[in-house]
């Protein structure tokens, strides 16, 4: 017998304990895995992608948006909610402007 549960929200995800597990919401369903193992190749690739994105961003007209990295939280426009951590992302200026002190503390960008 399957018990139906309501989809989780980003607020539910952010309320979970910091216990070393990586967690995502995929269409309201919790996905988790143990601590990620990183290596120098992954780290170097992240740094290179962030560098290239920043060089590109500096050539854009103002406002320019932001480049974020290191498990930046991103809330995708799905229903139910999809919230994932990404290694590197460009956040457009309209999204950066909408961030408030409350949403900044959640570490998730909403498109």
Mean confidence (pLDDT) of the chain: 82
Q: Report which listed range, 6-10, 46-50, 102-106, is most confident.
A: 46-50
pLDDT tens, 75-94? 888 778 888 888 899 999 99
Q: What is the average pLDDT across 40-58?
A: 94
Percent of the chain scoring above 90 in pLDDT = 29
Residue 55 reports pLDDT greater than 50? yes
Residue 102 reports pLDDT greater than 60? no
Q: How far is CA 21 from CA 16, 36, 96, in A?
A: 10, 8, 27
Q: How far is CA 101 from CA 10, 97, 105, in A?
A: 17, 11, 6
């Amino acid at each position: 017998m399957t018990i139906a549960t309501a989809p989780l929200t980003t607020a539910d995800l952010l309320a979970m304990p910091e216990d070393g597990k990586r967690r995502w919401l995929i269409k309201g369903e919790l996905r988790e895995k143990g601590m990620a193992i990183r290596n120098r190749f992954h780290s170097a690739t992240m740094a290179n992608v962030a560098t290239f994105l920043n060089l590109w961003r500096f050539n854009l007209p103002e406002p320019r948006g932001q480049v974020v990295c290191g498990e930046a939280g991103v809330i995708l426009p799905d229903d139910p909610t999809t919230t994932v951590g990404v290694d590197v992302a460009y956040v457009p200026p309209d999204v950066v402007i909408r961030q408030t002190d409350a949403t900044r503390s959640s570490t998730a960008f909403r498109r």
